[in-house]
Amino acid sequence: MKYHFLIISLLLFVFVDGEVLYAQAGVHNGNFESWPSGNNDNPEFWDSPNSITGGFPFFLKTVEKTSDSHTGNWAAQITTGTILGETIPGLLSLGTLEIDLENIENTQFIGLPFSDRPGKLEGYYKYSTPGTDFGLLAILLTRYNDSTNSQDSIAFGLTQFTAQEDEYAYFSATMQYLTLAEPDSINIVILSSASPTMMPGSQLKVDDLAFDYSATPIVELPEFIPLCSGESHTFELGFFEGYTYTWLHGETGDVIGNENVLTVTEPGIYEAIVQNQQGLPGFGSVEVVLYEEPGDANGDGVVNGLDIITMINYFVGNESEVFCFENADVNGDGVVNILDIVMTIAIFADN
Ligand SMILES: [Ca+2]
Ligand SMILES: [Ca+2]
Ligand SMILES: [Ca+2]
C-alpha cells in the first residue's frame, strides 16, 4: 500500500469508465445514511481499501460509519492507520476501487455515470490529527474519448481539510472547467492524510455532500428572432466581470465572436457560451430567421393586419420594434407610402 502511488494515481486521474450503477444529479449517498451489509464497511456507492486491509492478517478498516453525524444517523469516518510500520492513509472513493497489489500504481478509480455540470461540491466535515496533517477531497468529471480510449478531464475540484474543534464545519470545492464537453462520469476521492507528514490517527468525518448548481451562468436568448433583409440585429448577454463569452455559428461550429454582444446580418443558428471565472459554462442558442415576403413589414413570416399597423406607424413617424423596409416597400419604388399599404391589404385579402 504505497501511499504516494495512490496519490499519483489520483493526481494523474487514472479513472476508467465504470459500468452503469445509478444516474442522478446529486452526490450518490452523499448523506452517508446507507451502509449495506457485505460492502466491507463502505457506504453504498463508495469504496475503500477495506476489502484488502480489513481482513486477516491486518484487520485495518480505514473507512467506517460513525454516529457522530452532521445530520441523520451516520457520517463517513476515514482514519489513517498503520500496517507493518507503514502509514496507511484512509481513502474513500466514489464508485469502485480496483486495487492492484502487485502494481499499486495501476490501481483504478472507477467512477459513476454523471452528465451534469455542478458549480461546486459542498459538505460538512470534522478533522483531527495528532500531528500537522491535513485531509483532502478531489472531485473529477471526465468523458470517455473514443479515439484515445481514455477518459478526458472535463472539470476538477480540490479542497483541504484542516483541524477543527468540536463542531462540523462547512466546506466547498469549486469546480474548474477545462472543456465545454458534457461529462459522462464522476469520481470523488477523500483522504484522511494528504500532507508530507501524514500521521496515523489523523481522522476525517464527512457528511451531507451535495452539488451546488447556482453558479451556472444563465444565457438568455429568444428561441428565434426575425431579421429584415439588409438590416442587422444585435444580441446582448449582459456583462459580468471575469466571464468569458463565445459565439459559435450553429451550422459550422466556427467561433464568430468573443464579446458579450454580437451583431448578425445573416439568417442562421447562433450559439452563445458564457463561462464564469471557473470556466463553468452556460449555453444558449437563437435562430435568426429572414422573411423576405412583400408586405411582411414586421418580419414575422406572415402578412396580416399587424403589418398594416407597422406600416402606418412608420408612416406617421412612430418607431416599431421591427420594421422591414424592403418588405414594406411592396412596389419597390424606394419609399413606403399609402400605395404599399393598399398593396399589402390586397396581399393578405388574397391569402
Ligand atoms: Ca448523515
Ligand atoms: Ca408580418
Ligand atoms: Ca413603395
What CATH number did the domain enclosing 161 receive? 2.60.120.890
Which pLDDT score, from 0 to 100, does residue 16 have?
37
Same-domain check for residues 203 and 228: no
Domain boundary among 245, 262, 290: 290
The pLDDT of residue 111: 93
pLDDT digits (tens, 9 = 90+) for 38-97: 999 999 999 999 998 988 888 899 999 999 999 999 999 999 999 988 999 999 999 999
Greatest CA separation for the chain? 99
Cα 126 to middle of ligand 1, angstroms: 13
The structural domain count of the chain equals 3
pLDDT tens-digit profile of 272-311?
A: 999 999 999 999 999 999 988 999 999 888 999 999 999 9
State whether 194 and 83 are in the same domain. yes
State the Cα–Cα distance between residues 6 and 153, nearest whole angstrom.
18
| Inside any domain, residue 219 | no
Interior CA angle at 124 toward 116 and 44, to 5°? 60
Q: Is residue 298 part of a domain?
A: no
Q: Which pLDDT does position 15 carry in this prediction?
A: 37
For residues 277 and 334, membership in a common domain is answered with no
Phi, psi of 149 (to 5 degrees): 55, 40
Whether residues 151 and 110 share a domain: the answer is yes
Quick one: 144 and 281 in the same domain?
no
Ligand 2 centre to CA of 334 (Å) is: 19
pLDDT greater at residue 15 or residue 214: 214
Q: If you measure from the C-alpha of residue 341 to the centroid of ligand 1, how many angstroms do you get, rounded to a whole number? A: 71
Task: Look at residue 296 and tell me if it is in a domain.
Answer: no
Q: Relative to the alpha carbon of 338, which ligand is closest?
A: 3
Q: Which of 181, 212, 243 is the last residue of a domain?
A: 212
Q: Is residue 249 part of a domain?
A: yes
Altogether, the residues listed in the chain come to a count of 351
Adjacent-strand bridge partners of 108 = 98
Query: Mind listing the pLDDT tens digit for each residue in 256-281?
Result: 999 999 999 999 999 999 999 999 99
| Same domain assignment for residues 179 and 262 | no
Final residue of a structural domain among 169, 186, 212: 212
SS (H, E, C) the chain: CCHHHHHHHHHCCCEECCCCCCCCCCCCCCCCCCCCCCCCCCCCCEECCHHHHCCCCCCCCCEEEECCCCCCCCEEEEECEEECCEEECCEEEECEEECCCCCHHHCEEECEECCCCCCEEEEEEEEECCCCCCEEEEEEEEEEECCCCEEEEEEEEEEEECCCCCCCEEEEEECEECCCCCCCEEEEEEECCCCCCCCCCCEEEEEEEEEECCCCCCCCCCCEEEECCCCCEEEECCCCCCCEEEEEECCCCCEEECCCEEEECCCEEEEEEEECCCCCEEEEEEEEEECCCCCCCCCCCCCCHHHHHHHHHHHCCCCCCCCCHHHHCCCCCCCCCHHHHHHHHHHHHHC
- pLDDT greater than 90 at residue 104: no
| Share of residues in the chain with pLDDT > 70 (%) | 93
CA of 288 to the centre of ligand 2 (A): 15
pTM for this prediction? 0.76
The pLDDT, as a whole number, for residue 7 is: 46
Domain span at residue 79 reads 3-212
Dihedral of the alpha carbons of 253, 259, 263, 265, in degrees to the nearest 10: -30
Whether residue 299 is contained in a domain is answered as no
CA of residue 329 to ligand 3 center, whole Å: 4
CA of 2 to the centre of ligand 3 (A): 84
- The ligand minimizing its distance to the Cα of 326 is 3
Same domain, yes or no: 197 and 251: no
Q: In terms of domains, do 181 and 237 share one?
A: no
Asked if 109 and 200 sit in the same domain, the reply is yes
> Phi, psi at residue 9, to the nearest 5°?
-55, -45
For residue 254, give the CATH number of its domain: 2.60.40.10
Does some domain include residue 310?
yes
Is residue 156 situated within a structural domain?
A: yes
CA of 329 to the centre of ligand 2 (A): 13
Domain shared by 39 and 186, yes or no: yes
Q: How far is the CA of 297 from the centre of ligand 3 (A)?
A: 12
145 and 176 share a domain?
yes
Strand partners, 224: 287
d(CA 349, ligand 2 centre) in Å: 14
| Domain presence at residue 295 | no
How confident is the model at residue 20, as a pLDDT? 33
- The confidence band for 328, taking pLDDT boundaries of 50, 70 and 90, is very high
Per the listing, cell 479513472 goes with 15
- Strand 86-88, strand 81-83: pairing: antiparallel
On whether both 141 and 161 belong to a single domain, the answer is yes
